[in-house]
């Protein structure tokens, strides 16, 4: 079967007579895949470990007029599964590797069985099923493979070291399959879906599961597998709840050192900020992308490297290095020995290990051997403890190659590489973990590879194992952070016994193993404070790697999503423009998906006044209620405290000194008097209201007159609008704030909150147009007219909360952790105030401001406000500089006419 011309917008995708094998299809998302393809004319093969569950789905599809057959069994027995498919329908055209299990445990409690079972199903199962399909795909010159990763694989997750490793491993697996299959019209892609399933039921709240229907995943898989789908191969996509985006690697500009005796861990520390500088990033697609030889030559011409003081050393530190009998491991050992470390040399070669011990002792270190496989982690750690009393650093370096074209790669070759690289690292990390936790200190460096990042022909096993070590490191970093354990990952290139057979002599010389060691030394030192990070390292060069995600497309989640609708938006889904983001954690990546819970068809339309005919009787009654007005008394002290809370500086006397000429409140002070009133309104007019499931969505503030700096104001609260978004409710409360004496209106606020799990009550679905309060405020497609950045302080949230928002999420680390955040986060209204200050300083006074809260800010991070002037309106967005992550979006102010904008002075 040959591929048709890619479908044009508006045309139908063709699935007719495709034989589609779906693993783990007896329930959940696999069942939804099967029903989707069955309903589109494909012949579907249902695999599941439960023969009964598989047959139930077969019967369901056949009863609906489709064609389906069962292929029960473990995915680890891939040939058996594929043989059943061929027996039923003659071949396989599409393989969806969907089967999976969870065995979540804190890493310290994770057993070998927990580890082995997860890697067996996810990695071995995907290998076995794909391997069995591969000859069919090659022979018929058509094949489509979909591998299933997850956010836990991309970003790491607490308690999922096994799952994160396996899921990230499938990204590397995909990249190599894509390269090997291209000339046979075999296309392989990987998705990181967020969908309700038997696996996610145990870790996600019920209201969130309702919004994550697998029906939003299946049409996208259809796009990637259709005969006439877009030409897509080796790509990563993240999606859920109607949101779809593409993910790729982004590499920093990096740093280069002179490769002489001055290239030390102390020299690496001196230039580390350059390694993490993403001002001029690259987006490599291949391991050859980048001027490697040019960088290597440049390093030779640089002056001696500057060093930090005091220099980094490893006196009284014990370092375990696996695979240290030669190559990279040997050079690591010599470096650590020179810096005073106790070094444990692990290798399967006794002669190799003993020789390196002698070399380490000769340069002033102390060393012992641990001759065994890296999988024998307990024995390696015992050797360290017996000789030196404890362990401080684990460099997981051991590895082997078993290269073969995928069609010829046998099970033994797969297993050996996965065992040494991945299981060996797991076993060694598991063995040192209790020691590290007890002493509240530890460093782990895992070893990935460029081939794990980009894939390469003939290394499906190696690419998978190396990518998996990135996911493992990120999960271990999360788990270790509270115990002083830092875990990072490198992808080194070096001239070793493994590369000598494939690299030219010039490249071997430029990529000496000793040119990687100083970076490892820095990451293993007390000077390093990073964790969960990942770097490419070679030839005196190092650069950080991170994910970049397209802004993507959000489809309404209250109507059926069709694959043709996705194709129509394909360019937007896959375009990396200035709206692209860089998620660094699961909660951060999930935020944009969660925002789409309230995206319903026609959400921008609307009508009506405060009371709407579509409102339920309960909402109509709630709108008729008028709570008693509440007074708010404040003094100049409160104004100064607020101004300081959003970053006013001591020299800005008009904002920090009550006796200064022109002393005034910053305009966003208007959110403070109303805060207690708007947040105290009861919400029992919607079902299942739970205050813990409330998210602040948008804020609109209108400033009706000059703001007094002290006095008594009166807040009048009104329920303005309640929308039924199906899975959620969107509630807008208006507070009109008046002066007590004159009765004049000073502020009008509209606060919109999202109540998760409170939708489905049959209320009004589409919001009303309320002018500036509901304007979309899309950023113009041109460079900003002004950009202002401001680094928040570590104390920012602690100060801001004194203006009235005492939510412990902003101050208590334990409470923040319960919410899925690594640290307490800054108040959204504080971010609004800082950005509003930037607009004020740049363009002058304004009479209203509206923002949408698009992401979190952690105190200490830098807020960057980008501004575009459009007539008397300034549209702006705010981002976190360090993570290039959104904080505020769809934001704008309306300028006071007649004022000339002053120049920014921040």
pLDDT, one tens digit per residue, over 76-94 is 999 999 999 999 999 999 9
Residue 767 lies in a domain: no
Judgement on whether residues 747 and 873 belong to the same structural domain of the protein: no
All residues at 6 or more sequence positions from 163 whose CB lies less than 8 Å from its CB, including other chains: 102, 103, 104, 118, 122, 150, 152, 153, 157
Judgement on whether residues 147 and 265 belong to the same structural domain of the protein: no
Candidates 409, 411, 365, 405; CA nearest to 388 is 365
Q: What is the pLDDT of residue 607?
A: 28
Judgement on whether residues 811 and 851 belong to the same structural domain of the protein: yes
Q: What's the whole-number mean pLDDT along residues 68-78?
A: 97
- Supply the range of the domain harboring residue 423: 251-549
**CB of 42 closer than 8 Å to CB of 20:** yes
Cβ-based neighbour number of residue 15 at 10 Å = 24
Is 163 catalytic? The answer is yes
Question: Is residue 707 pLDDT above 50, yes or no?
Answer: yes
Q: What's the whole-number mean pLDDT along residues 872-881?
A: 95
pLDDT digits (tens, 9 = 90+) for 99-138: 999 999 999 999 999 999 999 999 999 999 999 999 999 9
Q: What's the whole-number mean pLDDT along residues 434-460?
A: 96
Is 900 catalytic? The answer is no
Please tell me the distance from the alpha carbon of residue 359 to that of residue 368, in angstroms, as a whole number.
11
Q: What's the whole-number mean pLDDT along residues 723-730?
A: 87
Q: What's the whole-number mean pLDDT along residues 646-655?
A: 96
Q: What is the pLDDT of residue 769?
A: 76
Q: What is the pLDDT of residue 4?
A: 62
Range among 366-375, 556-565, 734-743 with highest mean pLDDT value:
366-375
How do strand 873-880 and strand 862-870 relate by DSSP bridges? antiparallel
Q: What is the pLDDT of residue 109?
A: 96
pLDDT digits (tens, 9 = 90+) for 208-231: 556 678 899 999 999 999 999 999
3-state secondary structure 452-505: HHHCCCCCHHHHHHHHHHHHHHHHHHHHHHHHCEEEEEEEECCECCCCCCCCCH
Question: Is residue 206 pLDDT above 70, yes or no?
Answer: no
Residue environment code for 652-671, b if the CB has 16+ CB neighbours within 10 A, otherwise e: beebbeeeeeebebbbbbbb
Q: What is the pLDDT of residue 900?
A: 39
Please tell me the distance from the alpha carbon of residue 494 to that of residue 327, in angstroms, as a whole number.
8
Residue 503 pLDDT level (bands cut at 50, 70, 90):
low
CATH number, domain of 23, equals 3.40.50.720
Question: Is residue 784 pLDDT above 80, yes or no?
Answer: yes
Judgement on whether residues 575 and 637 belong to the same structural domain of the protein: no
Q: What is the pLDDT of residue 821?
A: 78
Q: At what angle do helices 424-439 and 377-388 cross, to 10 degrees?
A: 40
Residue 767 or residue 266, greater confidence: 266
Q: Which residue has the tokens 């995708």?
A: 13
**Which member of 33, 127, 155, 163 is catalytic?**
163
Judgement on whether residues 420 and 542 belong to the same structural domain of the protein: yes
Judgement on whether residues 670 and 800 belong to the same structural domain of the protein: no
pLDDT digits (tens, 9 = 90+) for 341-358: 999 999 999 999 999 999
Q: What's the whole-number mean pLDDT along residues 139-156?
A: 96
- Say which range, 256-270, 717-731, 810-824, has the weakest mean pLDDT: 810-824
Q: Which residue among 759, 789, 823 closes a domain?
A: 759
Burial of 631 (0-12, 13-18, 19+ CB in 10 A): exposed
CATH number, domain of 726, equals 3.10.129.10
Residue 640 lies in a domain: yes
**CB of 761 closer than 8 Å to CB of 724:** yes
Q: What is the pLDDT of residue 497?
A: 62
Residue 866 or residue 509, greater confidence: 866
Question: Is residue 259 pLDDT above 70, yes or no?
Answer: yes
Judgement on whether residues 381 and 258 belong to the same structural domain of the protein: yes
Q: What is the pLDDT of residue 755?
A: 84
Share of the chain above pLDDT 70, in %: 92
Report the run of H or E that residue 145 belongs to, with start and end. Answer: strand 143-148
- Say which range, 77-81, 447-451, 582-586, has the weakest mean pLDDT: 582-586
Question: Is residue 95 pLDDT above 90, yes or no?
Answer: yes
Q: Looking at the DSSP assignment, which residues form a beta bridge with residue 718?
A: 734
Residue 765 lies in a domain: no
pLDDT digits (tens, 9 = 90+) for 239-255: 998 899 999 999 999 99
Residue 769 lies in a domain: no
Query: Average pLDDT over the chain, rounded to whole?
Result: 90
pLDDT digits (tens, 9 = 90+) for 322-341: 999 999 999 999 999 999 99
Judgement on whether residues 293 and 198 belong to the same structural domain of the protein: no
Please tell me the distance from the alpha carbon of residue 906 to that of residue 898, in angstroms, as a whole number.
23
Report the run of H or E that residue 712 belongs to, with start and end. Answer: strand 711-724
At residue 64's C-alpha, the angle toward residues 61 and 67, to 5°, is 45
Q: What's the whole-number mean pLDDT along residues 723-734?
A: 88
Burial of 696 (0-12, 13-18, 19+ CB in 10 A): middle
**Which member of 33, 332, 454, 462 is catalytic?**
462
Is 522 catalytic? The answer is no
Per-residue tokens: 810 = 């902003």
Question: Is residue 603 pLDDT above 60, yes or no?
Answer: no
pLDDT digits (tens, 9 = 90+) for 794-839: 999 999 999 998 888 899 888 777 667 788 999 999 999 999 999 9
Residue 906 lies in a domain: no
pLDDT digits (tens, 9 = 90+) for 183-192: 999 999 999 9
Q: What is the pLDDT of residue 683?
A: 76
Please tell me the distance from the alpha carbon of residue 697 to that of residue 595, in angstroms, as a whole number.
9
Judgement on whether residues 539 and 559 belong to the same structural domain of the protein: no
Half-sphere exposure of 42 (CA within 13 A, CB side): 28
Residue 2 pLDDT level (bands cut at 50, 70, 90):
low
Please tell me the distance from the alpha carbon of residue 349 to that of residue 422, in angstroms, as a whole number.
20
pLDDT digits (tens, 9 = 90+) for 285-309: 988 888 877 887 788 889 999 999 9
Q: What is the pLDDT of residue 438?
A: 97
**Long-range Cβ contacts of 816-822 (<8 Å, 24+ apart):** 819/587, 820/586, 820/587, 821/587, 821/856, 821/858, 822/478, 822/481, 822/585, 822/858
- Say which range, 536-550, 594-608, 754-768, has the weakest mean pLDDT: 594-608
Residue 406 lies in a domain: yes
Please give the tally of structural domains in the chain. Answer: 4
Residue 269 lies in a domain: yes
Residue 629 pLDDT level (bands cut at 50, 70, 90):
confident
- Residues in the chain, overall count: 906
Q: Which residue among 549, 572, 593 closes a domain?
A: 549
Please tell me the distance from the alpha carbon of residue 834 to that of residue 844, in angstroms, as a whole number.
14
Question: Is residue 380 pLDDT above 80, yes or no?
Answer: yes
Share of the chain above pLDDT 90, in %: 73
Judgement on whether residues 82 and 182 belong to the same structural domain of the protein: yes
The DSSP-derived string for 408-437 is G--HHHHHHHIIIIIIHHHHHHHHHHHHHH
**Which member of 167, 227, 430, 764 is catalytic?**
167
Residue 11 lies in a domain: no
Please tell me the distance from the alpha carbon of residue 381 to that of residue 442, in angstroms, as a whole number.
13
- At residue 548, the 3 state secondary structure works out as strand
Q: Which residue among 549, 568, 585 closes a domain?
A: 549
Please tell me the distance from the alpha carbon of residue 185 to that of residue 206, in angstroms, as a whole number.
41
Q: What is the pLDDT of residue 500?
A: 65
Please tell me the distance from the alpha carbon of residue 878 to that of residue 884, in angstroms, as a whole number.
10
Judgement on whether residues 570 and 680 belong to the same structural domain of the protein: no
R_g of the chain, CA atoms, integer Å = 29
Question: Is residue 507 pLDDT above 80, yes or no?
Answer: no
Judgement on whether residues 617 and 572 belong to the same structural domain of the protein: no
């Amino acid at each position: 079967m040959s591929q048709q011309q890619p479908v044009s917008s508006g045309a139908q995708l063709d699935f007719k007579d495709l034989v589609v094998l779906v693993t783990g299809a007896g329930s959940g998302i696999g069942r939804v895949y099967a029903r989707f393809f069955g309903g589109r004319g494909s012949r579907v093969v249902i695999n599941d470990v439960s023969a009964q569950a598989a047959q139930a789905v077969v019967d369901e599809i056949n009863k609906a007029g489709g064609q389906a057959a069962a292929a029960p069994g473990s995915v680890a027995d891939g040939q058996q599964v594929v043989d059943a498919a061929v027996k039923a329908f003659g071949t396989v055209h599409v393989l969806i590797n969907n089967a999976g299990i969870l065995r979540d445990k804190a890493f310290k409690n994770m057993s070998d069985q927990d580890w082995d079972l997860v890697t067996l199903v996810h990695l071995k199962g995907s290998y076995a099923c794909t391997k069995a399909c591969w000859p069919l795909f090659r022979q018929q010159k058509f094949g489509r493979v979909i591998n299933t990763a997850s956010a836990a694989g991309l970003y790491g997750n607490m308690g999922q070291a096994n799952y994160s490793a396996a899921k990230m491993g499938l990204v590397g697996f995909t990249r190599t399959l894509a390269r090997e299959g291209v000339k046979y019209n075999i296309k392989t892609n990987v998705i990181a879906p967020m969908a309700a399933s038997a696996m996610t039921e145990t870790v996600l709240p019920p209201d969130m599961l309702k919004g994550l229907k697998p029906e939003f995943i299946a049409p996208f898989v259809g796009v990637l597998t259709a005969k006439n789908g877009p030409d897509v191969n080796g790509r990563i996509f993240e999606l859920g709840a109607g949101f779809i985006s593409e993910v790729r690697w982004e590499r920093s500009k990096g740093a280069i050192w002179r490769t002489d005796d001055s290239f030390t861990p102390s020299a690496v520390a001196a230039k580390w900020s350059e390694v993490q500088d993403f001002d001029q990033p690259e987006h490599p697609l291949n391991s050859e992308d980048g001027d490697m030889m040019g960088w290597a030559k440049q390093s030779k011409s640089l002056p001696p490297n500057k060093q930090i003081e005091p220099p980094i050393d490893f006196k009284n530190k014990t370092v375990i290095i696996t695979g240290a009998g030669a190559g990279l491991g040997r050079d690591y050992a010599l470096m650590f020995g020179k810096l005073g470390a106790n070094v444990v040399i692990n290798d399967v070669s006794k002669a190799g290990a003993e020789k390196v011990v002698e070399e380490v002792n000769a340069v002033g270190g102390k060393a012992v051997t641990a001759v065994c496989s890296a999988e024998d982690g307990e024995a390696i750690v015992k050797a360290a403890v017996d000789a030196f009393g404890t362990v401080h650093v684990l460099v997981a370096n051991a590895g082997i190659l078993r290269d073969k074209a995928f069609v010829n790669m046998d099970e033994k070759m797969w297993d050996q590489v996965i065992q040494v690289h991945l299981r060996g690292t797991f076993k060694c990390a598991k063995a040192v973990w209790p020691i590290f936790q007890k002493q509240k200190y530890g460093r782990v460096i895992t070893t990935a590879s460029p081939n794990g990042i980009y894939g390469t022909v003939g290394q499906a096993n190696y690419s998978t194992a190396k990518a998996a070590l990135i996911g493992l490191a990120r999960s271990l970093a999360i788990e270790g952070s509270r115990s002083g354990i830092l875990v990072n990952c490198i992808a080194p290139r070096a001239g070793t016994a493994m590369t000598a057979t494939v690299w030219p002599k010039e490249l071997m010389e430029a990529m000496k193993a000793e040119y990687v060691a100083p970076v490892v030394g820095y990451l293993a030192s007390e000077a390093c404070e990073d964790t969960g990070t990942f770097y490419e390292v070679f030839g005196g060069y190092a650069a950080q790697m991170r994910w970049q995600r397209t802004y993507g497309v959000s489809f309404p989640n209250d109507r059926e999503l069709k694959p043709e609708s996705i194709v129509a938006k394909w360019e937007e889904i896959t375009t990396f423009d200035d709206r692209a983001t860089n998620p660094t954690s699961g909660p951060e990546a999930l935020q944009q998906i969660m925002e789409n819970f309230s995206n319903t068809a026609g959400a921008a339309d609307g009508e009506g006044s405060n009371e709407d005919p579509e409102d339920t009787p309960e909402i109509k009654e709630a709108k008729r209620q008028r709570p008693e007005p509440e007074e708010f008394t404040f003094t100049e002290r409160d104004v100064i405290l607020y101004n300081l809370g959003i970053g006013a500086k001591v020299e800005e006397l008009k904002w920090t000194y009550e006796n200064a000429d022109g002393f005034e409140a910053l305009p966003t002070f208007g959110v403070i008097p109303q805060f207690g009133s708007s947040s105290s309104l009861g919400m029992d007019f919607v079902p299942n209201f739970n205050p813990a499931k409330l998210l602040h969505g948008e804020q609109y503030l209108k400033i009706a007159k000059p703001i007094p700096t002290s006095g008594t104001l009166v807040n009048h609260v009104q329920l303005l609008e309640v929308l039924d978004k199906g899975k959620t409710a969107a509630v807008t409360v208006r507070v009109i704030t008046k002066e007590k004496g004159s009765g004049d209106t000073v502020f009008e606020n509209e606060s919109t909150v999202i109540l998760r799990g409170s939708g489905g009550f049959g209320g009004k679905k589409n919001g009303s147009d309320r002018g500036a309060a509901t304007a979309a405020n899309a950023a113009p497609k041109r460079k900003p007219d002004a950009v202002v950045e401001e680094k928040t302080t570590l104390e920012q949230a602690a100060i801001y909360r004194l203006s009235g928002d005492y939510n412990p999420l902003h101050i208590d680390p334990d409470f923040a952790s319960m919410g899925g955040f690594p640290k307490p986060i800054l108040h959204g209204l504080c971010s609004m105030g800082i950005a509003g200050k930037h607009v004020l300083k740049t363009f002058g006074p304004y009479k209203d401001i509206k923002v949408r809260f698009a992401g979190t800010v952690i105190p200490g991070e830098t807020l960057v406000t980008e501004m575009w002037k459009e007539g008397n309106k300034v549209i702006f967005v705010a981002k976190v500089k360090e993570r290039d992550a959104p904080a505020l979006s769809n934001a704008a102010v309306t300028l006071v006419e007649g004022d000339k904008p002053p120049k920014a002075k921040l």
